[in-house]
Structure 1
Amino acid sequence: MVQLLCVFVGGGLGALLRWWISGWVAERVGETFPWGTLVVNVTGCIVVGFLAGLFAPEGRWWATPEVRQFLILGVCGGYTTFSSFSLQTLNLLQDGQWLAGLANVGLSVVLCMVGVWLGHWLGLWTQTLRS
């Protein structure tokens, strides 16, 4: 139950950070390109990589499972799921599973784009049913 609470609270904090930072970036550079989302994804990947290295068995710091779950799954996961995707892909590549790592990248991009298109289409279709 404690681990569940750690992920829950961390996820909420991460989502608030994502909202604040992406809005802050958008206010400064405009919204003609999703710079805010890009900044969030890149900084989230840097932070999750840093934490994974810091808390790794061969890393410099030890952390309880609750601290790791709060920071990595909760805060970073709420901040950006791209960080989880990137860390998992890095782990596959570091384990020498190049095909699986590249498949994860290709499948994630293609299937997520198809998924967002399908979801968008279903949303528009649902609106036509109401008319």
Structure 2
Amino acid sequence: MTALDVFWVGLGGGLGSLLRWWIGLRVGELYKGKFPLGTFLINVSGAFVIGYLSILFTVDWRDRYGDVMNAAVLTGILGGYTTFSSLQLDAAKLANARHRALAAGYLVISVVVGLAAAAFGAWLAR
């Protein structure tokens, strides 16, 4: 790992986080339901893009950190863009607000649809 690697991951992570914040803000302005739609859309779209780009960049899952494109885009931008911790927080808030079925459904559908989106992205890239 070099200082330049750290720079690219940091720059990409900052850009991805800003994009996540902006999309979450916009979705929150348009959608007022109980389902955490913003986080869901962000994670599913991020899964699709990382599935697509990992095939396009020929990235093995054990070596996602090796070059500038992987560091800046896959680890940086998409790592900053997607958010597992917000997914967990949203589910916990739903469960605490006595929406346990919605919380469980949100977790399951996020994982299933995210996996399908990543697989579809990879399939499209092939």
Q: So what's the TM-score if we normalise by structure 2?
A: 0.57
Q: In the alignment, which of 43, 62, 70 is matched to residue 41 of structure 1?
A: 43
Q: Report the number of matched residues.
A: 82
Cα drift, residue 31 of structure 1: 4.7
Residue correspondence of structure 1 range 18-37 to structure 2 within 5 A: 18-37=20-39
* Cα distance change, pair 31–13 in 1 and its aligned pair in 2 (3 A): farther
* Structure index of larger Rg: 1
1:8 to 3, 7, 10: 10
Q: Is the 8 A contact 2:39 2:83 kept in 1?
A: no
* Structure 1 runs, 4 residues or longer, greater than 3 Å off: none
Q: State the 1:81 CA deviation.
A: 4.3
Matched residues, percent identical? 41
- Provide the rounded CA distance (Å) in 2 between the counterparts of 1:3 and 1:50: 22
Greater length-normalized contact order (CA 8 Å, ≥ 6 residues apart): 2
**Distance change (3 Å), C-alpha of 1:73 and 1:46:** same
**Matching residue's letter, 2:26:** W
- CA displacement at 1:49 relative to structure 2: 0.7
CA distance in 1, matches of 2:41, 2:25: 11
d(CA) in 2 for partners of 1:31 and 1:2?
A: 43
* Secondary structure of the structure 1 residue equivalent to 2:20: helix
> Which residue number in structure 2 is paired with residue 78 of structure 1?
80
2:52 corresponds, among 50, 53, 59, to 50
Counterpart residue type for residue 75 of structure 1:
I
- Post-superposition CA distance 1:65-87 (Å, at most 9, x none): 111110000000000144xxxxx
Counterpart AA for 1:23: L
**Following superposition of structure 1 onto structure 2, how do residues 112-131 of structure 1 map, counting pairs within 5 Å?**
none
Q: Whose helix fraction is larger, Structure 1's or Structure 2's?
A: 1
2:55 corresponds to 1:66: no
